[in-house]
């Protein structure tokens, strides 16, 4: 049985080798409060269109894998908020079999995008190795998905609540290239840089598309990370973010919050501690990633004609 529904506009674009950019839905249900989550999701779709590509927001609606949502479906995910199941790879078969609705993480968005034939995906930040993972073994499924699913993920680096060094080590071990767009440092989500370096720096979308093509023509499995720093005017001071993260992490430990609840809790708490500044920055970095992803998708389509 085929559980996948591709939105007609997305299907037509893919059939004509026109650029399509996948977008995730966890950011709608679990990343921001309503109604900002819906407003942001629609703005990101508009940004993709304004930059010459077709958006395909991905989710699971009543047991159907959706590559491309309509406005009513986005509204449903936004209003549902935390009550909508957060779905990663392990959750997909249960949510589908039970006919439920779910918001897709980076990992499950990559899976559905690949099923549909979409090669480029824009998100906020990828998951990674959590701080303290040497004892908790808390490693995001996003990293393993990047190792096996052929989708290029445009992000503002890894979320700064994570252990960035161990995240890079994990990606390197599994053969996932981390490419910095016009930067040699790994962006840390709310800040433009970190103490860690990316594997390679590339300065234009065409060069990134060439790497994507070379990887997949050689039948090398997996995707790649395109690390795109947050625009300078929206970046937050690292000292303020580091302080908020440390406090949020301490509170998560005290309240025994872990697993899939950890990231939404930490991001929400950091938002509170920064007086809402981090939410405004989060929105801007997603829009920035949508712009770059659209340019990469266009360049990739030119290469594979």
Q: Which residues are catalytic, by number?
A: 24, 159
What one-character-per-residue DSSP string does 80-98 give? HGGGSEEE-GGGHHHHHHT
Listed in sequence order, the DSSP H helices in 174-261 are 205-217, 238-254
* Long-range CB contact pairs, 81-90, < 8 A, 24+: 81/29, 81/30, 81/33, 81/34, 81/37, 82/29, 82/30, 82/264, 84/29, 84/30, 86/26, 86/29, 86/30, 86/260, 86/264, 87/60, 88/141, 88/260, 89/141, 89/144, 89/145, 90/141
The closest of 167, 130, 44, 185 to 36, measured between CA atoms, is 44
Contact between 285 and 231 under an 8 Å Cβ cutoff? The reply is yes
Contact between 181 and 198 under an 8 Å Cβ cutoff? The reply is no
| DSSP label of 139 | B
CA distance linking residue 245 with residue 142, whole number of Å: 21
Task: Report how far Cα 25 is from the mean position of its chain's Cα atoms.
Answer: 9
- What are the backbone dihedrals phi and psi of residue 168, each rounded to the nearest 5 degrees, phi first? -65, -40
The closest of 43, 76, 117, 94 to 284, measured between CA atoms, is 43
Contact between 258 and 220 under an 8 Å Cβ cutoff? The reply is no
Contact between 226 and 296 under an 8 Å Cβ cutoff? The reply is yes
* Local structure of 209: helix, strand or coil: helix
CA distance linking residue 258 with residue 264, whole number of Å: 10
């Amino acid at each position: 049985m085929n559980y996948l529904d591709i939105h007609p506009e997305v299907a037509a674009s893919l059939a004509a080798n026109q650029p399509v950019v996948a977008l995730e839905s966890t950011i709608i249900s679990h990343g921001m409060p309503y109604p900002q989550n819906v407003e942001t999701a629609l703005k990101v779709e508009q940004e993709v269109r304004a930059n010459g590509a077709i958006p395909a927001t991905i989710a699971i609606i009543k047991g159907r894998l959706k590559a491309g949502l309509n406005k009513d479906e986005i509204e449903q995910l936004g209003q549902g908020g935390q009550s909508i199941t957060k779905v990663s790879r392990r959750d997909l078969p249960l949510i589908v079999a039970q006919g439920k609705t779910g918001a897709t993480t980076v990992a499950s968005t990559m899976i559905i995008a690949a099923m549909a034939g979409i090669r480029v995906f824009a998100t906020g930040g990828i998951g990674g190795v959590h701080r303290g993972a040497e004892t908790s073994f808390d490693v995001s499924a996003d990293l393993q998905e990047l190792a096996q699913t052929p989708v290029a993920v445009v992000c503002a680096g890894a979320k700064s609540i994570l252990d960035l060094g161990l995240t890079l080590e994990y990606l390197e071990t599994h053969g996932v290239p981390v490419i910095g767009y016009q930067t040699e440092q790994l962006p840390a989500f709310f800040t433009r840089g970190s103490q860690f370096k990316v594997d390679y720096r590339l300065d234009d979308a065409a060069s990134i598309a060439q790497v994507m093509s070379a990887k997949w023509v050689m039948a090398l499995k997996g995707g790649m990370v395109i690390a795109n720093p947050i625009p300078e005017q929206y970046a937050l001071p690292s000292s303020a973010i580091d302080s908020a993260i440390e406090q949020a992490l301490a509170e998560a430990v005290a309240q025994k919050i872990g697993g899939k609840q950890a990231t939404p809790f930490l991001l929400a708490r950091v938002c509170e501690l920064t007086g809402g500044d981090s939410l405004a920055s989060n929105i801007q970095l997603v829009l920035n990633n949508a712009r770059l992803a659209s340019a990469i998708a266009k360049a990739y389509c030119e290469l594979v004609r």
